[in-house]
Structures are given as C-alpha cells and as structure tokens.
Amino acid sequence: MPDTPLPDIAAVLDRLDADREGALERLFALLRLKSVSTDPAYAEECRRAADWLLDDLRAIGFDARLVETEGHPLVIGHGGPEGGPHVLFYGHYDVQPVDPLELWETDPFEPRIAGLPDGRQAITARGASDDKGQVMTFLEACRAWKAATGSLPCRVTVLLEGEEESGGESLTAYLAGQPEELKAADVALVCDTGMWDPETPAITTQLRGNVTQQVTVTGPSRDLHSGLYGGAAANPIHELTRALAALRDAAGRITLPGFYDGVPELPEELRAQWEGLGFEPGDFLGAVGLSSPAGEQGRSALEQLWSRPTAEINGIWGGYTGAGFKTVIPAEAHAKVSFRLVGEQDPQAVRAAFQAHMRAAIDPQCGVAFTDFGAGKPISMPIEAPEFAKARQALTDEWGREAAFIGSGGSIPVVGQFKRQLGLDSLLIGFGQDDDRIHSPNEKYDLTSFHGGARSWARVLAALAG
Amino acid sequence: MPDTPLPDIAAVLDRLDADREGALERLFALLRLKSVSTDPAYAEECRRAADWLLDDLRAIGFDARLVETEGHPLVIGHGGPEGGPHVLFYGHYDVQPVDPLELWETDPFEPRIAGLPDGRQAITARGASDDKGQVMTFLEACRAWKAATGSLPCRVTVLLEGEEESGGESLTAYLAGQPEELKAADVALVCDTGMWDPETPAITTQLRGNVTQQVTVTGPSRDLHSGLYGGAAANPIHELTRALAALRDAAGRITLPGFYDGVPELPEELRAQWEGLGFEPGDFLGAVGLSSPAGEQGRSALEQLWSRPTAEINGIWGGYTGAGFKTVIPAEAHAKVSFRLVGEQDPQAVRAAFQAHMRAAIDPQCGVAFTDFGAGKPISMPIEAPEFAKARQALTDEWGREAAFIGSGGSIPVVGQFKRQLGLDSLLIGFGQDDDRIHSPNEKYDLTSFHGGARSWARVLAALAG
C-alpha cells in the first residue's frame, strides 16, 4: 500500500466527470441483478449481486471478500493508507420486491435513462436509488481517487449487506461479534438517505426506529358459508379489523399503553431550523395525490414525518379476494403491521404492547399468532462532532448551497448497531430525492444525484482525511 | 301426453332403489363439469353443464330448451300432464370457486365416495351439495316416475340457472318478464336448503335476504415508503379497517342508521318451536373449531343464525401480502362486504346506508368506490297453505320423523322473485347437512341425502298431485 498522496481533489473530480459513461454502465450492470432479499426465489440473484460488488471492489484495489451468513453474504473490503483517519462505509445490495409489477412502466430490472417532466434525467430501475445507486456513488468516488492519485485519501472499509430490506439478521449477528476490522474505523458513512431537494444536499441527523411484524388471526377450522353461520360464527376479518382500528384514536394518537414513553418534544432550536426549511405539506403530499397531513392532530407535517412515532398497516389479507363474490367467513386473516419509533422508545416494549393489545382485543375463541420481522431503535446524531462540520462543508462546496441538517422518518437500524456494537457515530449522507419512489413501482435515481453524489463523496473523503 | 296414472308411489320408490348406481353415475358426470360462474375462465364449462342438463331433461321426457342470456344460459323443461296441479322446480347448475385449492383432499371436480368418521358415506366434490346433488335428487325422482308409471304425477316445470353463485342477474332479467310458462305453476319447489339433521327432514319457512358489495378505498397515487411518508400520509388500509370496524358496536349490533328498521321480534310460537329443536350452539360451533356465539348479545344462537340480520366482511386485501415485509403505504385497499337481512329490511336501503357510512368514515382526501353484487329481500313462507301440510307429511312418511319447519340464515333471492314476479310461494325442501362444507374445500353430500332426497321428491310430487 503506497503512502497517501496529497489529496488532489480537482484531479479526482475531473476523473469522475470524464468517466460518467463508465460509471453508468457499471451501475446498470448491478441494477440488472434481481437481488430481492425478502423472496427466497431470488437468493441466487442476491449472491450474484454480492459477487459483482466483490469483483468491483477488487478492481478498485480493495482487499475484499465475502462473509458467508445464514442468509445472504456480506461483502467487506479494506483499502487506502493505514494509520490515519479510517471511515467505514455501509450500504446494501438487496432491493425491495417489485410488485405490483403491472404498475411499472418499464422492466424494473432493465435500467434505462428517462426524462422527468421538469427536465431532470433519471435512472429508472428497482434499486436505482435504494440502494444500489447510492452505493455506487461511493465506489465511483473511490475508483476516481485511485485512478487520479494512485490511492484513497484515507483508510476506507466498505461493508455491504444483502438483507437490509428483509430484517438484516445476518449483519446483526456479524456485528454482535464486534469485529475488530470494523471497530478500527473512526466514523461510519451511511448512504441510503436523501438530499433536502434536488439542489440542496443534506446530512440526516435523526432517524426513527421501527418494529415490524405479521399478525394472523385464526377462527373457524375451515371457511364457512356466511349465510349458514353468519351472526353466530366469529369472523377473523372482523376481529382483525376491529383490533387494528383500535390502534389509533380519533386524534391520530396510538393507543397502546406506554407507547409514548420516551417520546421527546422537539427541541426549540431544531423546530426553528425545520420551520426555516420552508417545507410545504401541501406540495409534499400533493405530489403523491394527497392533500392534508393524516397523523397526530396538533403536530406539524414535518413532526409527523420526522419526530413523531407512527403505527401503519402495511398489508392486510383474508377471505375471498378473487373475481365476483363469495359469501365466506374465512378460517383466518392476516396483516403486516409496523411502527416508527423516536427518542427513547424501546422497540421490544412496543412489540410486546402491540401483541398484548391484539391478544386482548381478539375474541378469545380465535387464535392470534405473530411473526416478527426487523426492529431498530431510533437514533439522534452528535452534530457537534468535527466530522459533521467537515462533511457539511464538503457538501456545501460541491452543491453551492449550505448543506442542511435534517431528520428522517425512515429507519436505518444499522446506525444504532454501529453505535452500540462498534462505538461509531454515523454520517448519514445520501443523494436520494423525495420523488425517487423507493419501495414503489418506477423507482428512479436522478442523474444529478448519481454524478453529484460521486463528486460529493470524493470531497467528503478528502475532508475527513484532512 | 297420457292421462295421469294413479300414483303408484311404491313402484316409483322401488325404481329409485333399483337404479341407485345409475343415479350416482349421472350425478358424477355433472359434478365433473367445472361450472364456476363467478370466474369468466369457466364460462364454457358452465355451458357444458347447461347442455348436460338439457340432454338429461329430454332423456326423461321433458320438453326442454336453453334460454340464452347475457350470462350463462337458463335451462327450462316442461313435463307431465297438463290441466292439473303444476309445480315449478328451481335449482342451479353453477358452483362456488374452489380456492383455496390446496385445502382440498381430492380433486374438487373428480367426485368420489368417501366414508365419514361417524360411518356416513358421502359424495365429495364441488357442487355435490350446492346444488348439483340437490338438483339431481329431483330429476331422479322424475326419471323414476316416468320409468315406473309412464308419466309424471303432475305438471312439472324445471327451471335451472347458472348464476346463483354470482348474482343471478340473468334469471332476474328473465323473471322480470313474468313469463307465462312459469306463472302457470301453482307452487315453486326450491331445493338448495338442508335437513334439520341427518335423520330429520325439514322445510325451510324463512330465509334471510342479503346485500353484497365490494368497497375500494384509494389514497396515495402510488405505493409509498412508510418511513418517508408514514404519519403524514393517509393509509387506505387504516381508513378501510377503521370504517369497517365501526359497522358493529361492542354488543354486536350493526351501527348503520335505520339498519334495524323492519326487523321483527321472533313470534313466541316460532321461538317455542325452535327451542324444542334441541339446538346446541356448542356442538354446532364446536364442529367448526369455534365455541361461543359471536353475534348480537342477548340473542340465542338460532336467532343470530336465522332471524337476526348480520354484517360480514367476506374478504379484505391491500398493501404488501407476500413473503417477508415491505414497509409500504398502499395506494388502495379493498373489501368484500355482505349483509344478511330479515323481516322487512330493504336491501337497497341497507346498501345506501352502508355506502353513506363508508363515505362519511373515510378521510375525505381518499376516494371510496363500490361495486354492487347481488341483493335479495328476506322472506317468510305462508306455512298455513295446504301444500306445506302435504309436503311435510310426505317427508315425514319417507324419513319416519316429523319434518321440521325451520329458518335459514342463507339467502335464496329467487324465492322472493318467484313471489313478486310469478305470484308463487316456495316450498324450500332440500337434503343438505350442516357439515356439507358448501362454499368450502371438501364439499360433500351424504349418500343418504342423495338417495333419500330422490325418494322424498317422489313422495312430495305424489302428495302435491293428489
């Protein structure tokens, strides 16, 4: 490993500008791999994505390998000069399912460039934004550093997982061992977040946690004719809907006992800064066909999105759902339910309160069963740490606008795990846009996000190396 | 057409006993036809079933034809001596969908004889009980009358439809014309009802009406990430579940304004007779894995089943329902909802009240749309009419037990249409059992129901001819 050359950021940025086509070709190759981690049918495609990233890290010069797990493999690579600053970059190569497939305008796994109504150019494909496009902004920055200067500006460890969209158990198990190769870093860089708007970069400084589970209510031993049994026979769909409806009161507050324990009021300075962002709820919701905030009454839309907990029914099914009509009382009904958590809320306590609520609300002659999926604690970053100022300046230099410190309604459980298991704070820097449609049909990633993101990472690495 | 011979019921019953194998072969041939009327994919199979019945009616000696409709054809046949008593027999050749197919122990369209734990023998197939087996009990009785005596004991018109499980619009349209060939009858015979128990025949004297519809709630213009939008974005599944849960109060009463208008209290004499039936709710519900009546508090299980109205969610779906977990706020959610009606409840008024309730309960920024399926008024029979005494005696003679006058929670809209359009009362005589699993996997029809049913019809025809 050569000594670190003096950072020559201009040469690195020129290199990125010169290699835009090559960068797009590499991203497209990764996007063509159908790495849907929640569906066992795509396990082999997940491995292909891990192998592709392994090869690419090695091509850049990383000392990289796959770490086998009970699920999809981790990809870990080390590069750059030892002894100095050391960053740990995290991303994931798995993607969300694509259904409903019929709503995609083009093949979700055949990426292409499309123009947006406002003139922006974007890459359309499942994973274009979440998270393959974001991951590649960082790898392209590393590639350009190597090409332009012969080395990375500082020690870089890359950690990529394949289960971010399906609970992340394998990474959780790996981090539980507090591996030295990761603990050695000074700070983590986590890329699957967004910009404030297409012109304004951002560092996300607080994240909601989450709890996800599936609940199944069982009633009759078989589907019943609702005429012959209706009225006397317990209907699992009734039980499920009544119990789920009771999760929220008329004011939009979640009714679980103790749910709001550890939910802090928004600090005045942060409230002031958020109000300064000029967020327009009507525009934000209008862009997705809605008009008014539907959450807790008396809370601003940004609070509802960033600093207040939620309960959501993400899926529900039971009984006859086909063509025509079938007068059936079904044997069972199901729902997928998630909570977003903030402050000091405890995911396990919320999970326990939810299960207790459902068991108490359901007719005792019916059965209630739960399947746990992932959970993550909410987290807030120490924005006074020097890395935050350095990264913020680097982003501001690239985009010509003051980078914003923002919150996020999303949950990135790994950030809390990095803190607890590795003692690392995370710099949440990403280049997604609100209209990227992640987790939805026609997911896209702006070309300006992709190229500007790579240039941004080149600058952030230089800043953190200094 | 010859003069009516003196009914020789003994010879007719002997003929039925002698031709049991032939009767089974004919029923099996009809059961092999996949006449699922709700699914357009099976339209051709529905026509095959109609053609098969047309041929069989002609083979028996009926002057039969198909009546084409906008949907599946009607089968109409006339036979027996004119000028005397005239009965109109009604049945349907369509069947319910078979899903969930994986719960069938054998191919639903490959009928076979199976032994039940208590020693009963039964025919297992979709439609075995509802309604092909029941229809064939009547045709076999007619066939035996012709074979044993050269004629039917009275004028018989057979009317078979192919949309009973899918709304019955075509028959409704046909009956609206008040066709003379049907109005000429004195009484209708409707076969898709059941016995009180495997040893006790019954005539169903009151039926609940019903209203069926699908409701769709639309929210965001696309599926949203529940982290990025959750809390501020209206969730159609929340809206749907909250609105549906509000249909019933804590006491199990339906909350729609005016819903109970026209719901009568049970006449004391009928209440006494029902109590005399020795119905055991624990046994009835225990047989399907339940334990206690789940309907209106303060009502007996038989009232909940026979004489009280209900609201049921027969199906619900929305959001992500696949493997794993997807934190999505879906663009829409759906439910299939039906009501069972009694007394003077008006199906259209109930439908309107339901739609008004849903529109009022759903967040106005969401859309609410409805698809209407069938509806039918509740009805009670004039049990003092002479045909009821004659038929009751014939059934009592066959089974050696006093035939019971019972209620039914099911809805048979055609009975009300016969009354309104044709001025005909209906004798609801069928031989199904509570455990026939109609509309469920592994539907069956007891051999004693099939053979005893045919013998019963032979006797009922003789009684009504006399």
Q: What is the pLDDT of residue A228?
A: 83
- C-alpha–C-alpha distance, residues B237 and A311, integer Å: 12
Q: Give residue B308's Cα distance to chain centre.
A: 18
CATH label of the domain that carries residue B339 = 3.30.70.360
CB contact under 8 A, A229 and B281: no
Strand partners, B24: none
Which residues of A are less than 8 Å from B436 in CB distance?
none
Residue A108 belongs to domain spanning: 7-207+378-465
Calculate how close chain B gets to A216, using CA atoms only, in Å.
12
Is the Cβ of A323 closer than 8 Å to some Cβ of chain B?
yes
Chain B residue at shortest CA distance from A243:
B245
Strands (E), B162-208: 187-190, 202-207
Residue B410 pLDDT greater than 80, yes or no: no
Domain co-membership, A98 together with A13: yes
Per-residue confidence in pLDDT tens, chain A, 466 aa: 334 444 589 999 999 999 999 999 999 999 999 999 999 999 999 999 999 999 999 999 999 999 999 999 999 999 999 999 999 999 999 999 998 899 999 999 999 999 998 899 999 999 999 999 999 999 999 999 999 999 999 999 999 999 999 888 999 999 999 999 999 999 999 998 999 889 999 999 888 889 999 999 999 999 998 888 999 999 999 999 999 999 999 999 999 999 999 999 988 877 888 888 889 999 999 999 999 999 999 999 999 998 899 999 999 999 999 988 888 999 999 999 999 999 999 999 999 999 999 999 999 999 999 999 988 888 888 888 999 999 999 999 999 998 988 888 777 889 989 999 999 999 999 999 988 999 889 999 999 999 999 999 999 999 999 8
Of B349, B376, B403, which residue sits at a domain end? B376
Q: Does A294 touch chain B (CB under 8 A)?
A: yes
Yes or no, beta carbons of B290 and A365 under 8 Å apart: yes
pLDDT digits (tens, 9 = 90+) for B416-433: 899 999 999 999 999 999
Please state, in angstroms and rounded to a whole number, the distance separating the CA atoms of residues A83 and A50.
28
Tokens representing residue B145 in the block:
């009358």
Question: A348 at the B interface (CB within 8 A)?
Answer: no
What's the rounded Cα separation, in Å, for the pair A296 and A353?
20
**In chain A, what residues touch B166 (CB-CB under 8 Å)?**
324-325
Q: Kindly state whether residue A277 falls inside one of the protein's structural domains.
A: no
Is it the case that residue B6 has pLDDT exceeding 50? Answer: no
The type of residue at A156 is V
Q: How far apart are CA A12 and CA A21, in angstroms?
A: 16
pLDDT score, position B326 = 86
Are residues B187 and B464 in contact, defined by beta-carbon separation less than 8 angstroms? yes
Residue A287 lies in a domain: no
Chain A stretch 28-47, residues whose beta carbon is closer than 8 A to a beta carbon of chain B: 37-40
Domain count along chain B: 2
Across B342-417, the runs of DSSP E, i.e. the strands, are 367-376, 379-380, 404-408
Residues A147 and A261 in one domain: no
Which residues of A fall within a CB distance of 8 Å from B226? Answer: 310, 312, 314, 338, 340
Find, among B466, B464, B459, the residue nearest to B395 by Cα. Answer: B459
Distant-in-sequence, close-in-space partners of B248: CB < 8 Å, separation ≥ 6? A238, A242, B254, B255, B311
Give me the residues of A, 407-466, that contact B with CB < 8 A. Answer: 408-411, 434, 437-442
CB contact under 8 A, A242 and B230: no
CB contact under 8 A, B288 and A224: yes
Nearest to A285 among B167, B225, B233 (CB): B233
| Cβ <8 Å between A325 and B227 | no
In B, which residues are within 8 Å of A336 by CB distance?
A: 319-321, 325-326
User: Per the domain annotation, does A155 fall within a domain?
Assistant: yes
Residue A324 and residue B107: Cα distance in Å, rounded? Answer: 22
Token pair 């009734």 is found at A238
Q: At residue B155, does pLDDT exceed 80?
A: yes
Pair (B223, B188) in one structural domain:
no
Residues of B in contact with A196 (CB under 8 A): none
Judge: A305–B224 Cβ closer than 8 Å, yes or no.
no
Size of chain A in residues: 466
Looking at residue A274, its pLDDT comes to 84
Q: In the listed set B376, B398, B416, which residue is the last one of a domain according to the structure?
A: B376
* Closest-approach residue (CA) in chain B for A373: B325
Kindly state whether residues B112 and B152 are assigned to the same domain.
Answer: yes
Q: Quick one: pLDDT band at residue B112, thresholds 50, 70, 90? A: very high
- How far, CA to CA in Å, does B140 sit from each of B10, B32, B175, B400, B417? 15, 18, 26, 21, 26
Q: Which of A100, A246, A322 sits opposite B97 (nearest CB)?
A: A322
Please indicate, yes or no, if residue B325 is contained in any of the structural domains.
yes
Give pLDDT, residue A449: 98
Measured CA to CA, the distance from residue A55 to residue A59 in angstroms comes to: 6
A238 vs B103, B313, B411: nearest CB: B313
Give CA–CA dist A229/A331, Å, rounded. 12
CATH of the domain at A439: 3.40.630.10
Which residues on B lie below 8 Å from A295 (Cβ)?
231-232
Residue B449 lies in a domain: yes
Closest CA to B127 of B32, B40, B43: B32
Q: Do B296 and A231 touch (CB under 8 A)?
A: yes
> Does residue B7 have a pLDDT over 70?
no
| A357 & A367 share domain | yes
Of the candidates A376, A402, A418, which is a domain's last residue?
A376
Q: For an interface test with B, which of A321, A332, A342 has the most B Cβ atoms less than 10 Å from its Cβ?
A: A321
Residues in contact with A85: Cβ distance below 8 Å, sequence separation at least 6, in sequence order:
A154, A155, A186, A464, A465
Instruction: Tell me which residues of chain B, numbers 129 to 158, contact chain A at a CB-CB cutoff of 8 Å.
Output: none
pTM of the model: 0.75
A contact test, residue of B292, B327, B329, B339 with most A CBs within 10 A: B327
Nearest CA to B93 out of B74, B67, B66 is that of: B74
* Residue B213 and residue B359 in one domain: yes
Q: Is residue B297 part of a domain?
A: no
Q: Are A137 and A19 found together in one domain?
A: yes
pLDDT at A3: 42
Cβ–Cβ gap A322/B238 under 8 Å: no
Residues from chain A that touch B221, judged by Cβ atoms under 8 A, are 288-289
> What residues of A are in contact with residue B304 (Cβ under 8 Å)?
231-232
The 10s digit of each residue's pLDDT in B116-136 is: 988 999 999 999 999 999 999
Residues B263, B334: one domain? yes
Contacts of B246 in chain A (CB under 8 A): 245
Task: State residue A439's pLDDT score.
Answer: 87
Contact predicate B59/B1, CB 8 Å: no
Does A437 sit within 8 Å of B233, measured CB to CB? no
List the one residue out of A122, A147, A128 whose CA is nearest residue A16.
A147
Query: Taking a contact as any Cβ pair under 8 Å apart, which residues of chain A between 193 and 212 contact chain B?
Result: 208, 210, 212
**Predicted local confidence at residue B273, as pLDDT:** 81
CA–CA min distance A238, chain B (Å): 7
pLDDT for residue A5 = 42
Residues A140 and A174 in one domain: yes
Regarding whether B455 and B431 lie in a shared domain, the answer is yes
Is there a single domain that holds both residue A389 and residue A339? no
Q: Which tokens in the block code for residue B401?
A: 């037990």
Cα A384 from Cα A405, distance rounded (Å):
11
Same structural domain for residues B345 and B392?
no
Whether ipTM > 0.85 holds is: no
CA distance B207 to B193: 10
> Which single residue is written with the structure tokens 């000091």?
A344
Buried b (16+ CB within 10 A) or exposed e, B3-36: ebeebebebbbebbeebeeebbebbbebbbbbbb
Return the residue in B96, B204, B325, B411 with the most chain A beta carbons within 10 A, the one to mutate for interface testing.
B325
Convert the pLDDT of each residue in B20-63 to its tens digit: 999 999 999 999 999 999 999 999 999 999 999 999 999 999 99
Contact check, Cβ <8 Å, A288/B222: yes
What is the least distance, in Å, from the CA of A427 to any CA of chain B?
Answer: 19
- Chain B positions touching A101 (Cβ under 8 A) are none
pLDDT tens figures, B134-147: 999 999 999 999 99
Q: Under an 8 A CB cutoff, do B326 and A315 touch?
A: yes
| Residue A51 domain-assigned (yes or no) | yes
Q: Is there a domain that residue B411 lies in?
A: yes
For the stretch B341-364, pLDDT in tens is: 999 999 999 999 999 999 999 999
Q: What is the CA radius of gyration of chain A?
A: 23
The per-residue pLDDT for B334 is 98
Kindly tell me if the per-residue pLDDT of B368 is higher than 80.
Answer: yes
Q: How far apart are CA A40 and CA A42, in angstroms?
A: 5
Residues of A in contact with B324 (CB under 8 A): 37-39, 97, 165-167, 373
Nearest CA in chain B to A361: B250
Among candidates A310, A313, A374 on the partner chain, residue whose Cβ is nearest the Cβ of B241: A313
Are the Cβ atoms of B291 and A365 closer than 8 angstroms? Answer: yes
For residues B180 and B411, which has the higher predicted lDDT (pLDDT)? B180
